[in-house]
Amino acid sequence: MSPSQSPTLRTFIAYVEDQPGVLNRIASLFRRRGYNIVSLNVGRTHEAGISRMTFVVDADDDTARRIEANLYKLVNVLSIEDITRVPSVTRDLALIKLSVGPEKRAEVLQLCEIFRARPVDVGPDTLIVEMSGDQGKIDALVTVLQPFGITEMVQTGTVAMTRGPIGAAAQATHPSIHPRRVA
């Protein structure tokens, strides 16, 4: 289910002002216009007062363009970029709790090794493993671990960053170095 596998899944990056209610404005826009959110992640950046969002939506080309235009209209949205077709690093983080005693522990850890998942908590009959990767890789790990007894699982939405130099959304957050188009 990663963006690269399905052409209808779009990944966007948005810079937003870190103010109360901003997430509500964005979520409300998606609901009102009937856009389908697959995942949404928001967190702080290295700059005070500015948050960065990554969201994945299910949309065709035209809807994607209108999502961008509508988000751009929100006063608290500083910049937005559709990175679906831009080479990027995308990551989800998953925590998986298993009901595993000492007898199967080694086997599970061996499998985790293959996926570069790592144990972060071990109890007499439990194990929590942490893994980051794209959705496809997380899904594969879940499939492999399922027979051992998954009791809980949590995962973040996708976070993404374009490869290479500063991305368009990041640059546009600073209007002084992003001159306006003029006729």
Binding residues for other proteins (CB under 8 A): 16-17, 20-21, 24-25, 28-29, 32, 62, 65-66, 69-70, 72-79, 173, 175, 180-183
Please name which of 77, 52, 61, 53 lies closest in space to residue 10, comparing C-alpha atoms.
61
What are the start-end ranges of the H helices in the chain? Answer: 22-33, 61-73, 102-115, 135-149, 168-172
When the beta carbons of 46 and 73 are compared against other proteins, the nearer one is 73
When the beta carbons of 48 and 183 are compared against other proteins, the nearer one is 183
User: Least Å distance between CB 124 and other proteins?
Assistant: 43
What are the start-end ranges of the H helices in 17-134? Answer: 22-33, 61-73, 102-115
User: Least Å distance between CB 182 and other proteins?
Assistant: 5
User: Least Å distance between CB 132 and other proteins?
Assistant: 30
Instruction: Sort strands 9-17 and 50-58 into parallel, antiparallel or unpaired.
Output: antiparallel
When the beta carbons of 80 and 96 are compared against other proteins, the nearer one is 80
User: Least Å distance between CB 176 and other proteins?
Assistant: 10
When the beta carbons of 31 and 116 are compared against other proteins, the nearer one is 31
* Euclidean distance between CA atoms 152 and 139, whole angstroms: 14
User: Least Å distance between CB 56 and other proteins?
Assistant: 20
Half-sphere exposure of 169 (CA within 13 A, CB side): 26
Q: Which residues pair with 81 in a beta bridge?
A: 13
When the beta carbons of 25 and 105 are compared against other proteins, the nearer one is 25
